[in-house]
Every structure is written in structure tokens, then in C-alpha cells.
Structure 1
């Protein structure tokens, strides 16, 4: 911290402490909570708090935390969000005084998610946040923990209030246990649980393990009543554990020693969802859809000593987290990076958006040939022409600059022809819609190319949002980059431009978000994203779907203001082909409707016949995932059904950056999913990129938007996706 003498004349405010992430744990590319503690001293003061952190390319990005007033002798903590883009990045916190210089505190990251196992897991490693009085798992990299990195928070009051703060978590496990002090603290953390609730509704996964002593937390009006509707209604002794062992696929029994408390299962009569495991008529594991997310309820206390000491505990935790299908081994990171430059699906999407119409990639061989022609012109050819046609070689003082000017003009013309004259924007967007909760979410990724260096402003496009019928309650905007150690990846070598390219600003305030003054070099690209979420004023779809002997029955009506192209509906592991659905049109499955098994659709599995006559045989052939594809829809579809397609075992790429977009949980929660391309004007998208400067022309934009909707189905039982193939 640097306190100047001039600063002391204007205020007595000090930056006492800065806390980043969950107990110091954070990941590049994810929204991370930050707490700044200020001390008012004898005089107090008013000023603006600003956090500065490097983005994925090393440029410095400012995140204003707002104007704060600190009274004399007051100690105040401000919580906000920040995104760091580099490994080992340093964060600078500034208190910009009114009428005076700034106070600064620079903090280097200590426990961030990169490097050796002692410092934290890798960027690709899933992180699970456990909230509870006692840890239920420990970190054993490469061991029986399944590669999960566990972060345990025992004090709920230290948790962030902002829902985006949990974005890094693959899942959150809340274990109430029997600790009275933990329950007392939890009862006073209403803002924390509201933030967690919004995160789950936005696509998070919450696993609950409760004890009947925590009934007040889940009772109507309690801080967690949304998680278990109807609350807890006592418990019943669990005399057998065979169902729990079967659910965990455990080869060894769960043993409760003599003298230990009995295992009990809480009763939740109001929990409407899918029963994933039960012992007789006692539900042990239940799950239900909550917005775009999932709530999994384990009615047995995971902090019970018998479970904590069970050698197969990791199997049970992996089932609750749905991590069992993800053990496809290493994805061949070095080989993937060598050939493609990325090891995550988000990196492939980033690469796909870097292809612009009218912008030609110039190979080095072409540049070498042009340089060779230039050297021939100014050297041997100029010498021969002067020797043959002109008696005095002093004319070279004229011919040389003429050749130089002509070649320079040709180079400039070729540069414009190959790289274009205006700003180009490629965008792909996703509109998620939860029909039951009347909630919509728009996420868009854009990559733009500029032939000239300049500053750019990025905002959500209000006109586009009106066309979708979305009224956002929250919004965010920022840079978009690929994780991993490939070229331009967040785990690659730091470029650290510092202040040489100028700082830019990201402002987020409820439904408003903007990125201001983003510096971009000449003939370079920059990738950004926007994310918005909120309720919908009117239903965008109308459905009356039911489960008829594991087949889909009923109708779906399009109430969007635009047509839905190439629409499909996925249910119980089957894909129903809808085609084009005009506004106001309805679709109903017919008897014998053409459908295809979901994994076959995702993996392009087909039957081939080999041999002839009596030796003729049929075999199934699965097309390998094409990591060289630059088709945004091909990539996005795999991101949306990653686990259903086979996870990293099939794709051979991670899906760490946008794991919350995977809709496999929706299917297992008994939902049907509509997926289609929106028939919208492709020259307008969710991301509005505007160059600064007088006379700047608006960019030429190419945008694709896809719609995905979670549809409730009466009588749905959920279950494994494999049921569709049986």
C-alpha cells in the first residue's frame, strides 16, 4: 500500500484488507468475489473504489465498485466482482479521492487455481464448494477423489452475496449436519442464500444433505425454503443401506458401528421431483429442476461418521455430482494443443468466430514471394535496366524511390483487399427459456476484426433483446478467451502489456452493463461476450406435453415473434424432428414419428453393412468428434449436451468454461428440450460493438441465434439417458 503525503491531506481513509475468491481460491475467466475493507480513520472520506486486473491478453481492465462514503472511525467492507485473465495475475485496488490523488493497494495472487497441486488444481479440474460445519471430502489429486478439487467453507457468513460469485463451481454441496452453531449462523445469512438461489436458477447444481435438526432453515419463510418446498417432516431410521450402496455402485457395504447414531432419512413430502434412489418406500436421493439449474436432495446426512469413514464415499459423492461419466482419462492436452491450439470447447468456439468473410489469411510463403519480387526489382532488375537503357547509373536516385513508392502503394492495396476496410463482427448467441418459471437467459459470444487500431465500446443490443421478448434483470459483459495453455489461452505465458495500451472499463449495475474503451491493435481481433437474464412478460411457448409409456405426447406452440428453424425436441434420450415452426404454429408427435436416439444424433452413430451373402454383418460406427471443425452450431450443440454425448471420453476436449450450459441434467430431471435456430435478421445480434472516433462506420455483423427451452412434461420420471436406447 502506498500512502502519499498529499492523500493524507484530503482524507484519512485506509485500505485495510483485500480478500479475493473463496478462501483465496479463484480461476481465470470466471467472475470472482472480492471484498475490500476500508477504515475511515479520524476524518473519513468519500471516493470511488476501482479494482484493476489484467485480461486474457495482459491489458488492464478496470472494474469500478462504485462511490463509497466512509465515516470517521468506521470500518466498512465492500463486496463486488472481478474477472482475472492471466495466471499469477496481480490485482490493484484504488481508492480515488474526491479532489485528491488515489490510494493504492496491490495484491499478488497466492492461492489461485493453477500450477502444482499444492497451490490448487488445474484450470480444467472441476471445483466443488462444500458449505458445512465439517468437511466431507479431501483433495487427493489423481486419486480416488475423481479429480475433483474441494473447497470447504465452514462459516456461511463469509460467503459472497452475488450469484455470479459461484460461477466457478461445478456444484455446491450444502451439508447442514447437527452443528447448532452452523445452523444459527445460516439462519442469519438471508442475502447469502438468496445469491445461491439465483445461481442455481441460472444453471447451477446444488446438492443438499440435511438433518432434521435443520428443519427451521427449510420451513416456509425460512432462508432455504425454496430448496425443499414444504420443508422437512421428521425422519425415519434407515435399517438397510443396500439401495444407497447400489446407487453409489459400491462393491463394499456401508457399515454403521455399534454405539454410533443410527443413519436416518429425513422425510420431504412436499418435494416434487424425480426419485433417483430409494430404500423400499423411503426416498434417499431426489432431484428436481429449479430454473435452469438442478437441486439434488440426499435425505441422509453425508456428514454422518459412518459415511465420512466409508471407503466408497467418493463413489457416492461422484454420483450425487454426476461425475461418474467423466472419467474418460486425460484428453491428450499436449496433442490437442499442438494440432488445434486449444483444449476446451470454448477455445474451439473462439477459433470458429475468428473466420471473417472478406478477410484472407496470408500464408508466409506468399509474403516471402512478394519480398523476393521486391528485392529483385530494387536490385538486379534496376541494375540491368539502368545499364541497358540509361547511360548514367546516377538515375538510380530516381528509379529507386519510384519503385519504393509503387511497391508500397501495391502493398497497401493488397492489405486492404486481403484484410478489408471496415470492422467485422462474428457472433453466435443462445437464448435459454424456462417455460415453467417464465425465465429467459441470453448468452452471446462475438469476435470482431478491425483493420485499424482504435478503441471500442461493447454493450448488449437493446433492439435485439426486444425482438426476443427479454426484459433483463441482470446483465454482464466482458472479454472472452480460451482456457488452457494454447496460443492466446489464459494459462499461457503472460503478455502483460500493462498501461502501454491504456486501461479500459467494465461496468455492471443490475440490468445495465457496458465495456468502454477496449483497445484493439490494427488488423487484430478481440473476443467479447454478453450475458443477460430476467423474467419474460408473456409466454414465449405454449405446451401441453405428457409422458405416454416413455414416449412424448401433446403439443408445442411457437409464441415467439419469429420462426424456429430446424427445430428438434429431445426427451428421454430420444430426438424428435420438428422442422420449421412458424409463429403461432403447433407441433404434435404422431404415431410412428421419425425419431433418433440422442447419443446417435450427437455422435453421428450409424449402422454399416460389411461382407456379402451369408457373411454379411452389420456394425455400428461412431463418427469421432471433429476438433478441427469451425462450424459454430456443431460446437455449440456439443457444449449444450456435453455429458449426454459422452463427455471428454468422446469429445476429447474439456467443457470447463461453460459447464453450466450442459442440459443433460434437464433431461434427467424429466424435462423435454426444444432446440432450434431463430429466424432473425443476421445483421443484428445481442452484442453491439461500436468503434470510437468521429466518422467511424458501424461494423458489419453476421449473427446466428439458437433457442433452447426447458419444457415440463406431465408424468415424467426422468432417469438415465440410456433408457431411450433400450
Structure 2
């Protein structure tokens, strides 16, 4: 009874504290996500459209979005452009609550925009709109480009295997000019998407900038399925970015009437009969070695592929030489299980395990946040202590204070005893906070994971920062990339870091987490700069940053190749401007211990005995002639260990080992690349180097930047194996 009442009161208070937006003008529209489908807590494309006479091209707009604390965050300015007779302003935002509230700050209301004491704009004078109910942050999102009804059934099959709900968003057939203008145009716009399935017939109808955005998302760690049979010839002829998703150079088409290998792959029959009646064409590739692993060939023992898996940057694309949205595949009963196979549904080794959040931790991302907030010398005051002080205070007021005043016959004593009791308990509360480290100096703890694709030179920096302040403050927070690792330009984005789910402070909670220092804040000129972020005395705030760039020089030289036994031969040397400590080389299911590797120093894998990657990540110990694994501890505060497991989560056994999902750290898992002709060199940079530069500056008289402590800095270099290492799956 008490909990629902408290929730209602908090919701009412939150509603009262939010500035009311003005009436929404006619003919204006806001679309968030993919046709209105978005996921809470992820970067989301948002398009504001209006008639050109109401919003002239060339103007700028801002939008305000709530963070998990219910505080409004002002976006960077977006330029207004014209498309299909309407004015558009594009944003990339993160919704911290499921409410979907958007406050738009149009140019004609700029004169009404107010500023607070820190000179930061407030939402006064904005107009409000609400977006559709979102997909919860704990569910997955599958994006389908094309007419593929079987994808919904495949999603349900995958859900039964993994236990986590999967939503399907469909961009449908080739969009109209107006709809195409609102499609995502940046790689970060696809942050919420776990996998994309694209039908080849839709590729030529998509805007070029959308295809470039999908390609960028793929190379940054995405997972793409391209279904292109006869349509592969048109894709290759267009010579766009989609042509790079094909496993080789298309030289023509060939008729194919037998698909026994596809039937075996899909574990379903009846396709041969349909194909014979319709007639199907598949692409033929040049004789040069294909880039990738052939999962399915046209005939057993044939070199002509039908399903190929290959690494592209830090992501992976699975190509199937069939147009799944056309006959004979579209209405084939086996299409659902075929999609399950293409989406790696059967490759998972944890399909019988169900994620069970424990100890207040929803996933590995939530565990990382909790670990970062554990500052040395400080700890949260235990609830038992807070409750004991509160009960003692109440008991002191009544019956103790009442008894003293009534028994003495002098009621005026209460005018003395009450201030004394209040002062005493205030001092007790203050001293209790000091005992648990409330007065510790300002601090910033960071961790980072830097991934480099040696083939393309792409660098992905993932970094997190936990801030703790001894007093109420407003902070300017910015992130940058080190120039000795990343060359300009750098695409960086900085934002809050919160738990998934409906727990207190979670992004799916019905009521925002009540913050002690509630104030709105804003981005600067770009997404890498936050201004006037509020923080309460003794409180913490955690931020995440992700940046992308290219290497300033070649990261490695390698002659690594795969042997017939599945191990590695050849040598590798890195060229980073610092030594890598505790180095390891991983490939397939194996791990090689390297030790410290100086710049330019070679490591030769020939003759080296690897050990099991799964056992190494899980820290298995030999006990009585067998390997024993201790269970994962969801309460561990070891930041380095959490990132190690998240980085190869599937290889370690997935939720079968940790019993919790990776959450927002899932994009860091490189396990899929280890079986796609890639090896990964892993090492620590040591305390002397940081690739992600955090700048935390308080808005006070001193303005001195806070000291930054990097507690974990790990590098992973993805290395392509020599062409002769390519193999055909049996």
C-alpha cells in the first residue's frame, strides 16, 4: 500500500516540477526512431518536420530530452534543411525515461528562452510533443528493410532460445520521397539496433546517405544479414557501399533449381519443389578467393557459395545468395528457421540459459556502473544506519521530549529541548556522512576499452567516467581522443550512463530517479561536450563516451594465418607508441599468452601451445584432472574483470556463465570475429597512457579541472588472417 502511494506522489511531484510546453503548432511533426519504433536508453534519430513557411530552411533548432533523473537535456543545434516540400531538423538523442516527451525550441521562440544562474538555457518557451511508447531497454531490436513477414516468427524463435524479448521494426518496401527524407543518415542513429536484415531488392531504393549510415554502423560493430540473390548483380553494378557487403566480385548469374544444402541449413524441406516451379538465379563470383567463411555452398563439395560470413571492420555481415522476399523463399515454411540460422540463433552456446538479474544488477553494464561508483575511502551509508538514526530521532521527539515537558510541569522546556535535539541529530547525521567518506575530495575515475581494426584503420573508443563531488556543483564535462592513437576527424558522443530496466534509476522506470541536485543542463556545440551538469554534495554521476576515428599510423604488421588444426602460425608486431602489457593473442577458441610486447617487437605463434579461450576468460582452475569454473559474481567491483568478460562474453559462455546479459556492453563483444578469419591482440596500455581524454571542470571560482584516474585501459587490435587461411565450413 505504501509503495504505490509513494510512487504516485513522486510522479505528481515530477509532473509539477517540469515546465509545461506550449501548444503544439499545426502541421508540425516529430518522429523518433525507425518509423516511430525506438528503444529507451539508446541513441535515437529524431526528426522535427514543419511547413517551410513556418520553419524556413537555414534556421536552427534545439530539442530537450529527459535523462533518467527527469532533468531536461538540451541538444546541440541542428540546421533546418528542406526535403519533399517540408523543413526538417535532424537530431540524435537519448531518451532517459519511457515517457517520450520532447520539448522543441524553435527559432521563433528564441526570444522566450530563459537562462538560469549558470547561464544555461531553460525549457521555458518550448513546445511539447510525445513520442510512441518505446521498446524497453532490456529487449532487443531487429530492423528489417524489406517485406519479410517471416522475420516476426524468427524473432519469436530466437526469443525462446535466448529468453530475451526481440522486437521487430520494419522500414518496409522502398519508401516514398517524404518518408525517405526522414530515414536515419548517421551511423549512431542505429545504436538501438542489435541486427539488421536487408533484402537486396530494397538496396537500390534506399537513399545513399542511409546506406552509408548502415555501413558505418556495421563497421563500428554491427551485425548485418544481406539477402541478395539475383539482386546482387544490380548491387554490385551500382558500386556503392552495399557492394562491399558482398563476399566477392559478381561476374554474372546462374540458374539454381536444387537447394538441398539450404534445406539442411534451415532444417526444413520442400524448397526444391518450389524452386523448380519458379526458377531461381544466384550470383556467380570471380575465381579469386572469397573474403569470409563459406557456411553453405550450392552443392556439397562445391566452391560456389550460398551463405558466407565475413568480418567488416569491427562488425560482421552474413550474406545469403537468395532473395528472401521473392519466390520461392518468401512463403516457404522453412524461411523462419533459415533466418534463425542467419542470425546466429543456433551458434549460441547458452541457448538453454535464462538471464536472471541478481543482487540488484540487471546486466553487465549495470554492474560496471556500480563498480565505477565505488570510490576508495568512501561508501554509501548503510540503510540500517540511516533507519536507526531516523527511528532514534522520532523516539527522542516522542515520547522522550513529550515526557520531559509534561512530567516537569513546565511546557516551555520544549522550546529548549526541541532545538537541542534537532541540533544534536543534525550533527550526528553530518558526522555519520563524514565517517563514510562524504567529505572526500572531488574525484573522477575512468575506464576505457580501445578497439582497432587493422584492416581499415578504424578506431573505436569506449570510455566511462564516474564523478564524485564533496559539495553541490555544476560541471562542464567533455571527452576527446588522444592524437597519437586517433587521427582527426573524431566522431565522439558523451552522455549519462544508467541502468537498464525498471529499477530505481533505470531508464524504463515509470518515475524518474529523484535527484538531490535537480537542474537542467545542455550540450555545447556537439555531442562531446556537456555544460553545467548538476551534482549534489556527496553524490556520484556516471557518464559514458564513445568515439570513432582512424589510426594515425598502421597499428600492426602481421603474417598470421590459420593452420589445418585451427591454430595460428606466423608472427605479429604492433606499432602503438607504447608497450602493451599482459598481452594475449586470441583466435577461434584459443588464447596465446604473449606477455609484455614492445612497439615493433614480434610475437611468433609457430610452435606455441595455446590454451582454451573460454577457460581463460572464465578463470578456470585445474581441480583433480579437470577444469573447474567458479560462478560469476554479480556483486564484484573489479572494473577490469567486468570489461574482460564483456569483451568476449559469448566465448566465455554468455549468460550460461554470467547469468546476466551484457546489456549496453554487448557491442563490445568480439567473439563473432574470432570465427570469421580474424585474430585479436589484447593488451593493457599501462598507467602512463589514456586514449580518451576526460575534462571535468567545475563552474566555481577556481575553475580548476578535477584530477582524473584511469583504473583500466585495454587495447584490442583486430587482425585479418592471411588469405590462404580462408576456409570452407563443412
Place the TM-score, normalised by the shorter chain, in its bin: 0.7 to 0.9
Distance in 2, Cα, partners of 1:450 & 1:238: 67
| 2:193 maps to which of 158, 165, 169 | 169
Measured at CA, do residues 607 and 136 of structure 1 come closer, stay the same or move farther in structure 2, by a change above 3 Å?
Answer: same
Contact 1:564 1:678 in 2 (8 A): yes
TM-align CA RMSD: 3.8
Deviation, 1:535, is 1.1
Distance in 2, Cα, partners of 1:110 & 1:561: 48
Partner residue in 1 for 2:103: 92
Deviation, 1:630, is 1.6
Where 1:53 maps in the other structure, the secondary structure is strand
Partner residue in 1 for 2:331: 309
Distance in 1, Cα, partners of 2:85 & 2:221: 38
| 2:70 maps to which of 58, 66, 71 | 58
Measured at CA, do residues 470 and 422 of structure 1 come closer, stay the same or move farther in structure 2, by a change above 3 Å?
Answer: farther
User: 1:6-59 deviations in whole A, cap 9, x for unaligned?
Assistant: x9xxxxx97621111111100011111111112233895864311111112221
Distance in 2, Cα, partners of 1:49 & 1:317: 41
Partner residue in 2 for 1:207: 225
Partner residue in 1 for 2:619: 604
Measured at CA, do residues 372 and 622 of structure 1 come closer, stay the same or move farther in structure 2, by a change above 3 Å?
Answer: closer
Whether 1:506 aligns to 2:526 is no
User: 1:405-425 deviations in whole A, cap 9, x for unaligned?
Assistant: 677557545534522332222
Whether 1:196 aligns to 2:214 is yes
Distance in 2, Cα, partners of 1:277 & 1:631: 42
Distance in 1, Cα, partners of 2:66 & 2:54: 34
Distance in 1, Cα, partners of 2:156 & 2:85: 47
Whether 1:483 aligns to 2:500 is yes
Partner residue in 2 for 1:185: 205
Distance in 2, Cα, partners of 1:406 & 1:257: 85
Measured at CA, do residues 359 and 303 of structure 1 come closer, stay the same or move farther in structure 2, by a change above 3 Å?
Answer: same
Contact 1:15 1:105 in 2 (8 A): no
Measured at CA, do residues 508 and 23 of structure 1 come closer, stay the same or move farther in structure 2, by a change above 3 Å?
Answer: farther
Contact 2:81 2:88 in 1 (8 A): no
Where 1:679 maps in the other structure, the secondary structure is coil
Where 1:91 maps in the other structure, the secondary structure is strand
User: 1:353-381 deviations in whole A, cap 9, x for unaligned?
Assistant: 11001213322444566678989999999
| 2:311 maps to which of 289, 299, 302 | 289
Q: Which runs of 5+ in 2 are unaligned?
A: 1-19, 114-124, 403-409
Whether 1:127 aligns to 2:144 is no
Where 1:305 maps in the other structure, the secondary structure is coil
Q: TM-score, normalised by structure 2?
A: 0.83
Measured at CA, do residues 366 and 285 of structure 1 come closer, stay the same or move farther in structure 2, by a change above 3 Å?
Answer: same
Where 2:188 maps in the other structure, the secondary structure is helix
Whether 1:361 aligns to 2:380 is yes
Partner residue in 1 for 2:167: 149
Aligned pairs for 1:539-578 within 5 A: 539-549=554-564, 550-578=566-594
Measured at CA, do residues 684 and 359 of structure 1 come closer, stay the same or move farther in structure 2, by a change above 3 Å?
Answer: farther
Distance in 2, Cα, partners of 1:502 & 1:290: 43
Deviation, 1:212, is 2.4
Distance in 2, Cα, partners of 1:198 & 1:221: 16
Partner residue in 1 for 2:604: 588
Partner residue in 1 for 2:116: none
Measured at CA, do residues 369 and 137 of structure 1 come closer, stay the same or move farther in structure 2, by a change above 3 Å?
Answer: closer
Q: TM-score, normalised by structure 1?
A: 0.83
Partner residue in 1 for 2:640: 633
Where 2:630 maps in the other structure, the secondary structure is coil
Distance in 1, Cα, partners of 2:143 & 2:57: 37
User: 1:636-679 deviations in whole A, cap 9, x for unaligned?
Assistant: 12211122222223321112423222111211111001111111
User: 1:220-264 deviations in whole A, cap 9, x for unaligned?
Assistant: 63452332375432222333322223333x154534337731233
Whether 1:425 aligns to 2:441 is no
Where 2:600 maps in the other structure, the secondary structure is coil
Contact 2:38 2:134 in 1 (8 A): yes
Aligned pairs for 1:417-496 within 5 A: 417=435, 418-461=437-480, 465-495=482-512
Contact 1:342 1:484 in 2 (8 A): no
Contact 2:199 2:325 in 1 (8 A): yes
Deviation, 1:344, is 1.6
Where 1:628 maps in the other structure, the secondary structure is coil
Contact 1:326 1:648 in 2 (8 A): no
Distance in 1, Cα, partners of 2:99 & 2:415: 55
Where 2:235 maps in the other structure, the secondary structure is helix
| 2:152 maps to which of 120, 138, 154 | 138
Deviation, 1:397, is 8.8
Measured at CA, do residues 718 and 82 of structure 1 come closer, stay the same or move farther in structure 2, by a change above 3 Å?
Answer: farther
User: 1:677-723 deviations in whole A, cap 9, x for unaligned?
Assistant: 11133899533222221125533432121101101211333688xx9
Whether 1:49 aligns to 2:71 is no
Contact 2:678 2:721 in 1 (8 A): yes
Partner residue in 2 for 1:709: 717
Measured at CA, do residues 421 and 196 of structure 1 come closer, stay the same or move farther in structure 2, by a change above 3 Å?
Answer: same
Deviation, 1:166, is 1.1
Distance in 2, Cα, partners of 1:293 & 1:141: 21
Distance in 2, Cα, partners of 1:395 & 1:124: 58
Measured at CA, do residues 508 and 638 of structure 1 come closer, stay the same or move farther in structure 2, by a change above 3 Å?
Answer: farther
Instruction: Out of 538-547 and 263-272, give the one that drifted further.
Output: 263-272
Where 1:635 maps in the other structure, the secondary structure is helix
Where 2:715 maps in the other structure, the secondary structure is strand
Whether 1:699 aligns to 2:712 is no
Distance in 1, Cα, partners of 2:212 & 2:157: 35
Contact 1:358 1:419 in 2 (8 A): no
Contact 2:66 2:72 in 1 (8 A): yes
Measured at CA, do residues 327 and 141 of structure 1 come closer, stay the same or move farther in structure 2, by a change above 3 Å?
Answer: farther
Partner residue in 2 for 1:106: 128
Partner residue in 1 for 2:88: 77
Instruction: Out of 648-657 and 667-676, give the one that drifted further.
Output: 648-657
| 1:218 maps to which of 236, 239, 244 | 236
Measured at CA, do residues 314 and 540 of structure 1 come closer, stay the same or move farther in structure 2, by a change above 3 Å?
Answer: same
Aligned pairs for 1:209-358 within 5 A: 209-213=227-231, 215-219=233-237, 221-222=239-240, 224-228=242-246, 231-248=249-266, 250=267, 252-257=269-274, 260-269=277-286, 271-278=290-297, 279=299, 280-326=302-348, 328=350, 336=357, 339-358=358-377
Contact 1:325 1:647 in 2 (8 A): no
Measured at CA, do residues 499 and 112 of structure 1 come closer, stay the same or move farther in structure 2, by a change above 3 Å?
Answer: farther
Instruction: Out of 672-681 and 88-97, give the one that drifted further.
Output: 88-97
Instruction: Out of 652-661 and 438-447, give the one that drifted further.
Output: 652-661
Partner residue in 2 for 1:117: none
Distance in 2, Cα, partners of 1:482 & 1:445: 14
Where 1:665 maps in the other structure, the secondary structure is helix
Deviation, 1:516, is 1.2
Give the number of aligned pairs.
677
